[in-house]
């Protein structure tokens, strides 16, 4: 099989892994410069905000496992292919030299055994780093069940590693992925966490820097394949951040790829639910919220009509309004419509004088939401309106223009047309997390 054909098959098989922020292009290049390919090119964002083009591909889509939710399961009749380590390393370098990519996102199905698969991934990374002296970004999947010695060697060559937890509960794993256990996923996570911490401590003591997964680790959960509630998902997410020092938990709306009796059928991917979970995740990571503040046993599901921050504010309406000119930074972060960047701008700007609602507009505060929860110099933006719970809730839920777009359609992939890509404003809010 030709390398280009392998790339087509294995890049398409990799699109279901969401633990790398991505988008793609099918732009024709007739008479132009560059030759973007529909297969494999994706984008990720570095810690300093730079956009990095990656080759996102599987080493192979052959797999000995039979996970019912996975398109690459052994029982699924699909096109199969596998690179050789040399073949994949050469492909990556050729793409890099043509300025198609700046790095590599590498995953794989399990062939023969976890150790054998990990050895092949290690061989790819060794050729790239040692032979070609490639210093670009590499994100590689940690293989559950692989020997720790192999994971350590991979971690010394990779920038980021991820071990997918796949499903929110152990019962879900037993039902849909019987070859996997919760422990088989958490053990490599723990090993990677400990080695990252050890490398950092060693680097502090010696002049020689030791780099082990310097960009940290991440994971992915499939949403909607099981009946787990949003509360269960977010509790697990919070635990992963606290106990395993993860940089990011990715949520992937379940796409029907099988006909197993326990899997949901004939339903669109729950994209709106995925969106709300990402918003809640942002609150956990950057806004100082805990899961118990967002959801509880009485309310285990996120509101489809309101973002989680607005929901919290409505449940705690007695804490509002907040005076914009005196509230501290942590309090400002809890106001709907004020994000991390906006809160910092407010704290800085009010040193020069008292702020008005016009000033807040200039600071890019989303007054469409914030106006119901703040005052400027003791006054509401609309002093004649009675700020009751029902009035605020009805006002906030009146604009549902985004809901049909999120509820319908297929999951985004590299092969989507440009018309399905987010607007410039949506891209901005997605990147900055302002809400």
Check residue 163 and give its pLDDT. 95
Check residue 256 and give its pLDDT. 85
Check residue 89 and give its pLDDT. 96
Helices (runs of H) and strands (runs of E) counted in the chain: 17, 9
Q: How many Cβ atoms are within 10 Å of 194's Cβ, its own excluded?
A: 14
Please indicate whether residue 417 or residue 124 has the higher confidence score (pLDDT): 124
Alpha-helical (H) ranges within 127-226 are 148-157, 170-176, 182-205
Check residue 421 and give its pLDDT. 40
The values of phi and psi at residue 157, to 5°, are -105, -20
Report helix, strand or coil for 133. coil
Alpha-helical (H) ranges within 21-129 are 85-97, 114-126
Q: What distance in Å separates the CA atoms of residue 171 and residue 350, rounded to the nearest whole number?
A: 52
**HSE (side-chain half, CA atoms, 13 Å) at 59:** 26
Query: Given a cut of 90, is residue 412 above it in pLDDT?
Result: no
Q: pLDDT tens digits for 269-284?
A: 899 999 999 999 999 9
Greatest Cα pair distance, the chain, in angstroms, is: 72
Query: Given a cut of 70, is residue 254 above it in pLDDT?
Result: yes
Check residue 232 and give its pLDDT. 97
Check residue 400 and give its pLDDT. 57
Check residue 208 and give its pLDDT. 75
Query: Given a cut of 70, is residue 419 above it in pLDDT?
Result: no
Q: pLDDT tens digits for 363-410?
A: 999 999 999 999 999 999 988 778 888 899 998 988 655 454 544 444
Query: Given a cut of 70, is residue 411 above it in pLDDT?
Result: no
Q: Mean pLDDT for the chain?
A: 85
Please indicate whether residue 250 or residue 428 has the higher confidence score (pLDDT): 250
Is residue 340 within 8 A of residue 433, CB to CB? The reply is yes
On the 0-12 / 13-18 / 19+ scale of CB atoms within 10 A, 111 is middle
Tell me the pLDDT band of 126, cut-offs 50, 70 and 90.
Answer: very high
pTM of the model: 0.84
Please state which of the four CATH numbers 3.20.20.70, 1.10.1530.10, 3.30.428.10, 2.70.98.60 is assigned to the domain occupying 3-289: 3.20.20.70
Helix axes 114-126, 148-157, angle to 10 degrees: 20
Per-domain boundaries in the chain: 3-289, 308-399
Tell me the pLDDT band of 261, cut-offs 50, 70 and 90.
Answer: confident
Residues 6+ apart with CB under 8 A from 384: none
Query: Given a cut of 50, is residue 186 above it in pLDDT?
Result: yes
What single-letter DSSP state applies at residue 321? Answer: P
Q: What distance in Å separates the CA atoms of residue 141 and residue 30, rounded to the nearest whole number?
A: 36
Query: Given a cut of 80, is residue 47 above it in pLDDT?
Result: no
Q: pLDDT tens digits for 131-150?
A: 999 998 999 999 999 999 99
Tell me the pLDDT band of 263, cut-offs 50, 70 and 90.
Answer: confident
Residues 6+ apart with CB under 8 A from 50: none
């Amino acid at each position: 099989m030709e390398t280009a054909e392998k790339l087509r098959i294995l890049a398409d098989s990799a699109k279901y892994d969401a633990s790398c922020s991505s988008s793609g292009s099918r732009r024709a290049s007739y008479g132009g410069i560059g030759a973007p390919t529909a297969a494999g090119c994706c984008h990720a964002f570095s810690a300093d905000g730079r956009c990095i083009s990656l080759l996102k591909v599987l080493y192979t889509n052959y797999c000995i496992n039979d996970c019912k939710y996975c398109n690459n399961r052994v029982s699924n009749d699909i096109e199969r292919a596998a690179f050789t380590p040399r073949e994949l390393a050469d492909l990556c370098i050729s793409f890099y030299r043509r300025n198609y990519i700046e790095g590599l996102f590498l995953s794989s199905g399990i062939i023969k055994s976890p150790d054998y698969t990990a050895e092949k991934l290690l061989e790819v990374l060794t050729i790239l780093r040692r032979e070609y002296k490639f210093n670009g970004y590499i994100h590689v999947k940690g293989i559950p069940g692989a020997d720790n010695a192999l994971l350590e060697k991979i971690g010394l060559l990779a920038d980021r590693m991820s071990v997918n937890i796949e499903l929110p509960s152990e019962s879900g794993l037993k039902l849909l992925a019987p070859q996997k256990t919760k422990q088989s996923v958490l053990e490599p996570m723990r090993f990677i966490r400990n080695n990252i911490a050890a490398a950092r401590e060693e680097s502090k003591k010696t002049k020689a820097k030791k780099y082990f997964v310097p960009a940290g680790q991440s994971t992915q959960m499939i949403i909607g394949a099981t009946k787990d509630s949003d509360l269960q998902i977010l509790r697990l997410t919070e635990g992963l951040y606290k106990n395993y020092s993860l940089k990011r938990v990715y949520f992937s709306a379940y796409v029907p790829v099988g006909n197993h009796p326990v899997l949901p059928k004939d339903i669109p991917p729950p994209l709106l639910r995925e969106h709300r979970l990402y918003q809640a995740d942002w609150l956990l990571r950057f806004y100082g919220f805990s899961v118990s503040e967002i959801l509880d046993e009485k309310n285990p599901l996120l509101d489809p009509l309101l973002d989680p921050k607005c929901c919290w504010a409505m449940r705690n309406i007695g804490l509002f309004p907040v005076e914009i000119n005196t509230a501290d930074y942590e309090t400002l972060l809890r106001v709907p419509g004020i994000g991390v960047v906006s809160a910092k701008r407010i704290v800085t700007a009010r040193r020069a004088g008292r702020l008005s609602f016009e000033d807040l507009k200039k600071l890019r505060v989303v007054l469409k939401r914030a106006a119901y929860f703040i005052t400027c110099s003791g006054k509401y933006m609309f002093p004649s309106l009675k700020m009751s719970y029902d009035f605020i809730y009805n006002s906030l839920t009146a604009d549902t223009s985004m809901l049909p777009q999120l509820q319908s359609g297929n999951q985004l992939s590299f092969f989507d047309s440009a018309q399905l890509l987010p607007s410039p404003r949506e891209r901005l809010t997605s990147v900055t997390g302002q809400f």
